[in-house]
Structure 1
């Protein structure tokens, strides 16, 4: 009247137990950006576009009237600075930075997945529709 133990298990579960696969929720992939890199993106939200320009050196006469020059917001780490520059442009151009910014990010060693994640984070925070744009 009762089924034996081997018949009570579904064929899919038996195949999974034989092959070693587990049936259940998949684990989300690890983030492509570190927490420090994500923090740089958030900080870049408050940076103005003029922070991307190289700092100008004023003469002593101008400094006499204007006071000390402002500290440069550029980061010492080249990779973090590339993330900051791309993020600033993304924040100010509705998450659609110019193509040259994407090229500069790639030249600094950022991969396509990382660039897409940076743009996705800025789009999500600014409310723009998400679409992949990195080449």
Structure 2
């Protein structure tokens, strides 16, 4: 019995395949710790990104209300902040957060990976339950 590969009927020349393999290997990703920060940011609100004022801290200590803690690592905090915006607004990210993300040591291509994975998860979950 013969097999006909319909997906690759007209394969690219060998030099293009090598370039495609190199591009696929260079795709930016995140470590397991960074993915866990992205997942945890789903539960944070945009208000968690603001610095609490004196009155907010005083009332919080009196009534036992706590504010969301920032992450100790500045790189992970930049990732958390951008992830919160991505979870809440999708591709509409503030330029200040993008600059903070890049200044923390990430590359701009990781922004696309981040937002695409988050919006894909949001669309996937809405589609299942709607």
- TM-score, L = length of structure 2: 0.65
* CA distance in structure 2 between the partners assigned to 1:112 and 1:59 by the alignment: 35
* CA distance in structure 2 between the partners assigned to 1:68 and 1:118 by the alignment: 34
The answer to whether structure 1 residue 48 and structure 2 residue 45 are counterparts is yes
The equivalent of 1:114 in structure 2 is 110
The equivalent of 2:85 in structure 1 is 89
* CA distance in structure 2 between the partners assigned to 1:57 and 1:116 by the alignment: 37
Write out per-residue CA displacement over residues 81-108 of structure 1, whole angstroms, 9 at most, x where no aligned residue.
0000000011111232122221121122
**Whose Rg is larger?**
1
Bigger relative contact order (CA 8 A; separation at least 6): 2
User: Larger helix proportion, structure 1 or 2?
Assistant: 2
Unaligned runs of 5+ in 2: 1-13, 15-20, 125-130
- The alignment partner of 2:80 has SS state of helix
- TM-score, L = length of structure 1: 0.63
* CA distance in structure 2 between the partners assigned to 1:123 and 1:31 by the alignment: 17
Contact 1:49 1:89 in 2 (8 A): yes
The runs of 4+ residues in structure 1 deviating greater than 6 Å are none
Number of residues paired by the alignment?
A: 103
